[in-house]
Amino acid sequence: MACVHAHVYQPPREDPRTGEVPVEVSAAPMHDWNERITEECYRPMAAARVLRPDGSLDRAINLYAHLSFDVGPTLAVWLDRFAPDVMAAMVAGDRASCAASDGHGGAIAHPWVHAILPLASARDRSTLISWGITDFVHRFGRRPEGMWMPETAVDTATLEALVDHGIGFTILAPHQVAATDGVPLDPTRPARVSLPSGRSIVVFAYDGSLAHGVAFGDLLQDGDRLAAALSGDPAAGLRSVATDAETFGHHHRFGEMALARAIGRPGAGHGGLIPYAGWLHRHGCQQSAVLVEDTSWSCAHGIERWRSDCGCRIDVVVDSSQQWRLPLRNAIDWLVARGVELTDRFAGPALLDPWAARDAYAEVLIGVRTPSQFADAHARPGHADAALAWMEAHRHLLMAQSSCAWFFDHADGHEVGIVLAQAEMALELLTSITGDSSEHEWRSQRAALVAEV
């Protein structure tokens, strides 16, 4: 059988002061890249066309009913507002896959922010996972069985955090797990990774060559070719692909049509696609593996892409330096640590339990509880405004850890600008609440960054 996982995510584009996405000229003729990717990819995937030999429409398939997929919560909030039909198609697809797989559907959770979890503090990592689960339950109406880790970046502490929150499996690149005791891994079957706590988590390692053929090769040029590539011995395990959802329609025009044609074709995984959760429910996990620490799917140097000039970049032809990555990491880490220090010192008079309140604040972000209801539950009498300001400061601190800022080649891109704007907003809120004068140190951190640009 076969599984195709689509990672549905876009970098946050909203101005943190207005909450609106400004016009992005490079996305023309659309207003911005969220809108353009939605039109080229996410919406066509909800009704992927299958054509007859004469070119007429045979049928349209909601690919979200056949895929394993995650959707980043920050993008999902944008979809709620600007493309609710697409979000509804994702939810409907998950419900259909649940019905076909004994309740084990295709959607899996995603942390609230696309942050590199091994580089986040234990408390921030826990909150990001918790907020992502809260969003998932609200959106899909069930508990998630799995969670996608941004950039598949992983270490043991991150896996422990997933298990803390009831997550049963995740997805990794094949180089991120290794055999135990010299016993070769069956790459078509999941493996169980034992953790220091005595617990364990199941890991699916996707087929690297197959994923490369879909994302960067020619497998999406023809649905029959894709079906053949996904086929295999029905007695064997699972052939799986994991790739960005933009692959289907944006990076490869009409890629969603090739996938739609492959579904249900003879040899297409011997019965079509199955989500990871459905396969795990049917077949379980009988082998073990060990984790390769501090690795990801998009950096040959582990997780260095998000903290150093490791050499990973988009344009490998034009020589460029990414020495700015370390000072950016240092600046954001400094501000996050400062936010923790100020919270521990000053938030008590406004909040009954500041850190419990932060975890609960996800209910405000997804709209199931109003700010005033939240304040009634978590603020001390007469301190509702301050309590909400604390929560907004922490939301911006978490958003400032979005991995996209470090991913690309240059520090003058949109992604770095948004992260710095999130940080500035957090600092402004912290200063207004506490009167703390951290701005001078922040300016020094920024100056170190500017010196490397």
76-110 pLDDT, tens per residue? 999 999 999 999 999 999 999 999 999 999 999 99
Q: In this structure, what are the phi and psi dihedrals at residue 11, rounded to the nearest 5 degrees?
A: -60, 145
**Single pTM value for the model:** 0.95
350-368 per-position pLDDT tens digit:
999 999 999 999 999 999 9
> Predicted confidence band at 318 (pLDDT cuts at 50, 70, 90)?
confident
Residue 234 has what pLDDT?
Answer: 63
Mean pLDDT, residues 117-146: 98
Residue 233 has what pLDDT?
Answer: 66
- How far is the C-alpha of 71 from the C-alpha of 147, rounded, in Å? 10
Q: Please give the C-alpha separations between residue 311 and each of 73, 303, 316, in angstroms, as whole numbers.
A: 30, 12, 9
Which alpha helices (DSSP H) does 83-186 contain, by range? 84-100, 122-140, 156-164
Amino acid at 351: L
**Residue 401 clears pLDDT 70, i.e. is over it:** yes
- How far is the C-alpha of 181 from the C-alpha of 167, rounded, in Å? 26
**Residue 181 clears pLDDT 90, i.e. is over it:** no
Please, what is the Cα angle at 362 between 358 and 368, to 5 degrees? 135
* Non-local CB neighbours of 289 within 8 Å, separated by 6+ positions: 177, 178, 179, 180, 185, 191, 192, 193, 203, 205
**Residue 449 clears pLDDT 80, i.e. is over it:** no
**Residue 347 clears pLDDT 90, i.e. is over it:** yes
- How far is the C-alpha of 59 from the C-alpha of 57, rounded, in Å? 6
Q: What is the DSSP string of 261-310?
A: HHTTSTTSTTTSB--HHHHHHHH---EEEEE-SSB-SS-TTSSGGGTS--
The phi-psi region of residue 183 (left if phi > 0; otherwise alpha if psi is between -120 and 50; otherwise beta) is: beta
- How far is the C-alpha of 61 from the C-alpha of 66, rounded, in Å? 9
Q: Are 249 and 207 in contact (CB under 8 A)?
A: no
- How far is the C-alpha of 370 from the C-alpha of 251, rounded, in Å? 39
> Predicted confidence band at 270 (pLDDT cuts at 50, 70, 90)?
very low
Residue 267 has what pLDDT?
Answer: 41
Residue 171 has what pLDDT?
Answer: 98
Q: Are 387 and 352 in contact (CB under 8 A)?
A: no
* Non-local CB neighbours of 318 within 8 Å, separated by 6+ positions: none
- 3 state SS of 375: helix
* Non-local CB neighbours of 353 within 8 Å, separated by 6+ positions: 378
Span 2-291: which CATH code?
3.20.110.20
Closest-CA residue to 107 (of 89, 85, 124, 125)? 89
- The domains of the chain are located at 2-291, 325-452
Amino acid at 211: A
User: Helix-strand-coil percent breakdown of the chain, rounded to 5?
Assistant: 50, 15, 40
Residue 269 has what pLDDT?
Answer: 37
**Residue 327 clears pLDDT 90, i.e. is over it:** yes
**HSE of 130, CA atoms in CB hemisphere, 13 A:** 17
**Residue 437 clears pLDDT 60, i.e. is over it:** yes
Residue 453 has what pLDDT?
Answer: 60
273-283 per-position pLDDT tens digit:
999 999 999 99
**HSE of 294, CA atoms in CB hemisphere, 13 A:** 9
**Residue 290 clears pLDDT 80, i.e. is over it:** yes
**Residue 265 clears pLDDT 70, i.e. is over it:** no
**Residue 142 clears pLDDT 90, i.e. is over it:** yes
> Predicted confidence band at 446 (pLDDT cuts at 50, 70, 90)?
confident
Q: Are 194 and 202 in contact (CB under 8 A)?
A: no
Q: Are 249 and 44 in contact (CB under 8 A)?
A: yes
Residue 324 has what pLDDT?
Answer: 95
- How far is the C-alpha of 243 from the C-alpha of 340, rounded, in Å? 35
Residue 3 has what pLDDT?
Answer: 95
Residue 85 has what pLDDT?
Answer: 98
**Residue 268 clears pLDDT 70, i.e. is over it:** no
Whether the bond between 371 and the residue before it is cis, its omega within 30 degrees of 0, is: no
How do 191-194 and 68-71 pair as beta strands?
unpaired
Q: Are 59 and 51 in contact (CB under 8 A)?
A: no
Amino acid at 424: E
First and final CA of the chain: distance in angstroms? 48
- How far is the C-alpha of 5 from the C-alpha of 222, rounded, in Å? 19
Residue bearing tokens 């180089």? 175
The Cβ of residue 286 has, within 10 Å, a number of other Cβ atoms equal to: 10
Percent of the chain with pLDDT over 90: 85
CA 414 to the chain's CA centroid = 19
- Of the candidate ranges 127-131, 149-153, 224-228, 302-306, the one whose mean pLDDT is the lowest: 224-228
**Residue 439 clears pLDDT 90, i.e. is over it:** no
Q: In this structure, what are the phi and psi dihedrals at residue 404, rounded to the nearest 5 degrees?
A: -55, -30
